[in-house]
Amino acid sequence: MILTVTPNPSLDRTYEVPALERGEVLRATGERMDPGGKGVNVSRALAAAGHRTVAVVPLGGAPGALVAELLAAQGIRVAPVPLTGHTRSNIAIAEPDGTLTKVNAPGPKLSPEESETLLASVGRYDPAPEWIACCGSLPRGLAPEWYAELVTRAHAAGARIALDTSGPSLLAALTARPDVVKPNAEELAGAVGRPLATVGDAVKAARELRESGAGAVLASLGADGQLLVSDDGVWYGTAAVKAVRSDVGAGDASLAGFLAAGGEGPEALAAALAHGAAAVQLPGSEMPTPADLDPSAVTVTADVPLDRALRDLNDPKDPSEQGSPR
């Protein structure tokens, strides 16, 4: 079983409009609601692929109740942490040409008691989960060191932990030695304090994160694929994509595929690429099922093109890049 922890989940509302015009009354041609947050998406991707998962989420108010209802409808076991505040609601405006305009709310402020309850959730399961995936931004009330404490408690409970966050939260958590960290290229550059111009630069930066405490680094490199840097060596992979429909949640699907395949080695990297590539070819934040995966589109090699220049990090062709944690 894989447990996910999402400190700042959301209720995501997406409206389709003919065109986004500032200052005008817009008539939506379609709408949908989805449970949101990076860890939530990892659980959704795991469930879609037939894997057991539990989503630990702080929930409050009517939006929180809807998140729990939507997750349960997808076959996901929800472990809610009750909040006095309300779960945030995010808004996305989708235009016919694929342009997506998003407004992400800051979310509630967690009290010290709510923070402790969320931390304690990782030790409630016997036997311990195979993996605990901790993903996304921290809500108000949680210090950057919060993820480091969560990593420590997860290890004490006997679980391996994968961390997908950035900035001070990532740097603080490295001291607790997470088993896997999953930065994108921009986050990796921010962690080492310098720009990354080539794949070789990314490999060097990933090694520095390992020297700082990360067990392995699974790095998304925009349109240039993904890297896995671990004790076993350095692996590089790409995945062919026929047509991009939506990149929402694709990076989270990629992490789900990686963990479901064991969370280590080239086989897990190949699974990450296959899940990410499948996700971008589906509408909205829909997660891929096994029937959507195309392993033949994936190439993984130990021959890393170290001198290859990194392309635009926001290239929409990337099958797994998701930007900063929400």
SS3 readout for the chain: CEEEECCCCEEEEEEECCCCCCCCCCCCCEEEEEEECHHHHHHHHHHHCCCCEEEEEEECHHHHHHHHHHHHHCCCEEEEEECCCCCEEEEEEECCCCCEEEECCCCCECCHHHHHHHHHHHHCCCCCCCEEEEECCCCECCCCCHHHHHHHHHHHCCCEEEEECCHHHHHHHHCCCCCEECCEHHHHHHHHCCCCCEHHHHHHHHHHHHHHCCCEEEEECHHHCEEEEECCEEEEEEECCCCCCCCCCHHHHHHHHHHHCCCCHHHHHHHHHHHHHHHHCCCCCCCCCHHHCCHHHEEEECCCCCCCECCCCCCCCCCCCCCCCC
Phi, psi of 248 (to 5 degrees): -65, 120
CATH code matching the domain that covers 2-301, chosen among 3.40.190.10, 3.40.640.10, 3.40.1190.20, 3.30.1600.10: 3.40.1190.20
Residue 114 confidence (pLDDT): 97
**Catalytic annotation, residues:** 252
Residue 311 confidence (pLDDT): 79
**Residues lower than pLDDT 70 in the chain:** 312-326
Residue 320 confidence (pLDDT): 42
Residue 321 confidence (pLDDT): 41
What is the domain partition of the chain in residue ranges? Answer: 2-301
Quote the pTM value. Answer: 0.91
| Cβ within 8 Å of residue 104, ≥6 positions away | 10, 88, 90, 326
